[in-house]
Structure 1
Amino acid sequence: MSSAAPRTTGQDHLWSVDEHLEDILATVRPLEPIELQLLDAQGCVLVDDVTVPVSLPPFDNSSMDGYAVRVADVAGASEEFPAVLEVVGDVAAGQAELLQVGPGQAARIMTGAPLPPGAEAVVPVEWTDGGLGAGPVTGMRARSLAPEGAEGQVHVYRPAEARAHVRAKGSDVKAGDRALEAGTVLGPPQIALLAAIGRGTVRVRPRPRVVVMSTGSELVQPDEELGSGQIYDSNSFALTAAARDAGAIAYRVGAVADDAETLRSAIEDQLVRADLMVTTGGVSVGAYDVVKEALESVADEDEAGSGIDFRKLAMQPGKPQGFGSIGPDHTPLLALPGNPVSSYVSFEVFVRPAIRTLMGLDDVHRPRTTATLTADKALTSPKGRRQFLRGTYAEGTVTPVGGAGSHLVAALAHADALIVVPEDVETVEPGTAVEVVLLG
C-alpha cells in the first residue's frame, strides 16, 4: 500500500501540482496479487500473461444448421439437377461419437457440432429440401421442416466449396498463443475468453477499497429537510461515484460533524476496510478545520512513517490539500478541500491516479488532448497557479462551462473535460490551442 510519510517543508511553501502528485504516486504501491474466481475478478488488473492451453474452437465445427457433405458429391448441384444424398444420421453439438460420411452420403449437422470424418463442407438447410423432397427450404420453413431423426435422402440445390460454413480448429486462438497480457483490465469480453479456454480462476490485483468521508456540521443527507445554514452533502456522493468510475470498490460514509474526536473515531473505524481513505473538507486555514486536528492525533499514535502533510498548492481550484498515511498498515489518505468543484477537480488530478496505481495499471492518468478554445471572451487565470476550468469537448474544440467559482456544481454536471491553463499563462484568447483532460 504506502511506504513512507511524505516529504515536508515550511508552512508557507507553495507546492506545484506535479510535485504533489509525484509525492502521492511515490507513496502509493500496487496491491498484492490474489487468485480470484472469474466473476470476482471483473474490473481487476491481470498480473500474469495468460497462455491458451487449448485451441479455440478445439475442433472443426459447423457454423450453420445443415448437412455435412463431400465437395465432389454436390459439385454442379442446381435447382434443376439437385444432388441426391443418403442421410446417414445426425451430428449434434456435444456429440462424442461421430458418423462417417462416405461417397454419396450426408449427415444432418447442427450449429457448433463437430464436422464428421469424411465431410469437407456444410450446406445450409436452406440450400436443401430438408430431406422432404419439397424443394429448397427457406425462412421459417427451414426451421419448422428440418427433420429430427428419421434417415432418408436429402436434395441439395447448390454446390459448396471445401470448408464452406466450417469453423476451423484454432481459427479464434491456437494453443500456445497469448490470450491476454499482464496489465489487462478484465471486462466481460476478457472474462468470456478466460472461461472459453478453461480458466476458472485468475491471478489479479484486487480492486482497491476506497472509503470516502465528508466533514462538516452544516451537511445534511439528501431527502432530509434543510435547516438554517445547512446544505446537502454532495461531495461524498460525487467522490464515491468517481472512485467507482476509476475502478475501485468504494464505500461512502455519511457526513461527520466538526468534532475532532468524532472524526478521529470514524476514521479509525473505517481503516479495517480501506486500501485508501479520502476525506473532503476541513483542510484550509480556519477555526473549525478539525480534519487536521483529528488526523494529526491519529498519526501521533501510529508507528514511525505515518503522518499527514497539509499543503498549499499552486492550483485553482484546490489550493489546500493533505496526504500521507495512517493506521498500523500505513493506509494512504488524501484530504481534499470541501468546495464541491475543488473536491472533484482534486479527485481527478490526485485521487484517481492513486487508485489506478493501487490497481497496478501502467497508465494511471485520464487521456489528454489539445483543443481549440471557443469562448465569447478571453479566459483569465491567476499568475503562478495552474487553473482547471470545466468545459465541454467536441471535435477538437472545447467550450468553458460556468465560471471559475469552486462552488458551481451545476456547471460541473454539464462538463466532460477540464481545460488546463498553465502557471505562466494569465490570459487565453478564443481560438488558442489549450490542453484538455477528457473526463468521459
Structure 2
Amino acid sequence: MRVSAAEWREWILAGIGRLGTVVLPVERAHGRTLVEDVRSAHDLPLWDNSAMDGYALRAPDTAGATPQQPVGLVVTGEVLAGSAADPAVAPGTAVRIMTGAPVPSGADAVVPVELVSGPEADRLEAADTAHEAELWGRTEIRLDAPVRAGANIRRRGEDLSAGSPVARGGDALTAARLSALAAAGVAEVRVSEIPRVAVLVTGAELRPPGAPLARGQIAESNSLLVAGLLRESGIEPVAVRRCSDDADAVREQLRDLARDCDAIITTGGVGPGSHDVVRLAVRSEPGVRAARVAVRPGQPQCAGRLSSGAWLFALPGNPVSAATSFEVFVRPALLAWQGRADPLPRLIPAVAAVGWRGARGRLQLMPVTLEAGANAADDPGDPGAPGDDRDAAAAPALLCRPAVDPRGVSHAVGGHGAVQAYAVVDEDRGDVAAGDPVGLLMVGPR
C-alpha cells in the first residue's frame, strides 16, 4: 500500500510510546530530554549587583557635575566579586566594586571605571598589570557628568524570580539550558532514558571499506552513515553489524540484537522483490508494517514493533535514501520516544539557485549545498535609511543547489558527502525552478 510521508511518520509516532526516566545531576544531563518542568530555586540575580568594574556611589552626589566643574568623591572601600561585605557609602564617598559584586546598601548607582578621572584613574592608567590591584583606587575620583540612579546595577530577580520556570518538560538540555538551570540553583533533573539502538546492514554485494572490489561489489558505507546519524542524535549505537542476504540470518540477527536493544535500524532488503531479505524476515511479525511511502528518495519502508518488544526501522539500502529516511522518519521517532516537545524537523526558508526536475505526488528531499544570497552581506543591525523599502520581500540570505545529479539522487553517495541540508518540496509541486522558495531540513545534531 502507498501512504504519504506525513501519514507514515504519524503512524510511527503514534506507536512509539515513551521511554523510562532517570534522575541525573545537571553535570551529566547534557543532550538529554527533560521530562518535567523545572523552576528556579532562588531569585536570579540573588542580590543587586554591579554590571561593571567601577565605583558604587550615591547618584544625588553627582548632580551638576560638568567637565568645567567635576564632582569629586572620596574612595573609602571596595567590594570584590563573591564578597559579603556591605561597606557604608556616606555622602561624598564612593566604593570600588567589581563586576558581579553585591552593590552596597547605601549606593544607588555604579559608574564604570573608564568614566572617572583623578588621582586613582591616573595611577591605574600608568600602572602595569602586576601593580594594578594595589593601585586600584586609593584616594579620590572625579566625574564630569551626572550618574543616573540605578545605572549599571543588575536588580535582584530581574532575570528570574524564585519559582519561575527555567525549563519545560520536553525541552532538550542544551549547554545554554543546563547553564541556566545551574545558575537557578538546580542540582539534578529528571530526564528520559536514551534509547539503545543497533544498526544492521544487509547486502550481498557489500564489502568493508578499502577491501578489493570485484565486478558487482561495492564498498559498504551505510553502517558508518547510520551510526554517525545516531551519534549526531546523542545516541551511541550498542552494536553495528553486517549480515548476509539470507532471511533466516536476518531473522536470527534481529532476535539476537533485540535482547539488548530498544530499536534496530536496518538498511537494504525492504523492497517488494523475492530477494528483499529484511521484508521477508519480518513478514510474520504482526506489529511490523511494510509500505510504499510517497517520498523521493526512500519509497520502500518498513517499521513497527517486533514481537521481542524492540522497534524496527527498516530503511532502503541506497545511502541517500537511508539518510533521508532517517531524517524524516527515524530521528523524529527517537526524539518523540524521549518525550521531546518538538520532534518534527523545522524547515528554514531558502531559494533554489538552480532548477531541477521534481516528482509530483511525492515529497521530495533533495540533498543541497548552501551559499549566501544577495542580502547575506547586509549589516543586520542597519535598519536602512529613512523611507527605505526593505522588507521580507527582499532577496533572501540563503540559496541552495543540488549536491548530486537530480536525475539519480538515491545512490549518489559521493556527492551526498557534501550535503548541508535537504530541500523539502511538497507533493503537489513537482518541478523546481530557479528562484522558487523551498524549505531546508538542516543536517547535523538537533
Distance (Å, rounded) in 2 between the aligned partners of 1:432 and 1:147: 60
User: Which region of structure 1 is more displaced relative to structure 2, 60-69 or 359-368?
Assistant: 359-368
What does residue 385 of structure 2 align with? none
* Structure 1 residues 375 and 67: alpha-carbon distance in aligned structure 2, compared to 1, 3 A threshold: closer
What does residue 198 of structure 1 align with? 185
1:48 matches 2:30: no
What does residue 59 of structure 1 align with? 47
What does residue 423 of structure 2 align with? 418
Task: Indicate which of 153, 156, 167 corresponds to 2:142.
Answer: 156
SS at match of 1:411: helix
Distance (Å, rounded) in 1 between the aligned partners of 2:170 and 2:307: 29
* Structure 1 residues 153 and 403: alpha-carbon distance in aligned structure 2, compared to 1, 3 A threshold: closer
What does residue 379 of structure 1 align with? 357
Q: Deviations over 1:5-46 (max 9, x none)?
A: xxxxxxxx3444344323212211132333222133222222
What does residue 211 of structure 1 align with? 198
Distance (Å, rounded) in 2 between the aligned partners of 1:230 and 1:181: 50
SS at match of 1:428: coil
SS at match of 2:302: strand
1:140 Cα deviation after fit:
7.5
What does residue 100 of structure 1 align with? 88
Q: Deviations over 1:335-356 (max 9, x none)?
A: 1111112222222232122122
Task: Indicate which of 356, 368, 371 corresponds to 2:335.
Answer: 356
* Structure 1 residues 68 and 16: alpha-carbon distance in aligned structure 2, compared to 1, 3 A threshold: closer
Q: Percent identity?
A: 37
Where in structure 2 are there 5+ consecutive unaligned residues?
374-395
Aligned-residue RMSD, C-alpha: 3.5
Which stretches of structure 1, 4 residues or longer, exceed 6 Å deviation after superposition? 369-372
* Structure 1 residues 263 and 137: alpha-carbon distance in aligned structure 2, compared to 1, 3 A threshold: farther
Distance (Å, rounded) in 2 between the aligned partners of 1:150 and 1:245: 49
Q: Scaled by the length of structure 1, what TM-score is found?
A: 0.80
Question: Any residues of structure 2 matched to 1:119-198 within 5 Å, and which?
Answer: 119-128=107-116, 133=119, 136=122, 141=127, 146-148=132-134, 153-158=139-144, 159-198=146-185
What does residue 4 of structure 1 align with? none
User: Which region of structure 1 is more displaced relative to structure 2, 241-250 or 427-436?
Assistant: 427-436
Task: Indicate which of 314, 317, 325 corresponds to 2:305.
Answer: 325
Distance (Å, rounded) in 2 between the aligned partners of 1:380 and 1:410: 21
Q: Is the 8 A contact 1:373 1:432 kept in 2?
A: yes
What does residue 311 of structure 1 align with? 291
Task: Indicate which of 406, 409, 413 corresponds to 1:409.
Answer: 413
Aligned residue identity for 2:222? N
Q: Deviations over 1:187-224 (max 9, x none)?
A: 11111100001101112223433322211233233344
Q: Scaled by the length of structure 2, what TM-score is found?
A: 0.79
Where in structure 1 are there 5+ consecutive unaligned residues?
1-12, 300-305
* Structure 1 residues 408 and 114: alpha-carbon distance in aligned structure 2, compared to 1, 3 A threshold: same
Q: Is the 8 A contact 1:366 1:437 kept in 2?
A: no
User: Which region of structure 1 is more displaced relative to structure 2, 135-144 or 358-367?
Assistant: 135-144
Q: Deviations over 1:370-412 (max 9, x none)?
A: 7766646x7253x765554444566376544413422112333
Distance (Å, rounded) in 1 between the aligned partners of 2:125 and 2:218: 63
Aligned length: 414
* Structure 1 residues 106 and 397: alpha-carbon distance in aligned structure 2, compared to 1, 3 A threshold: closer
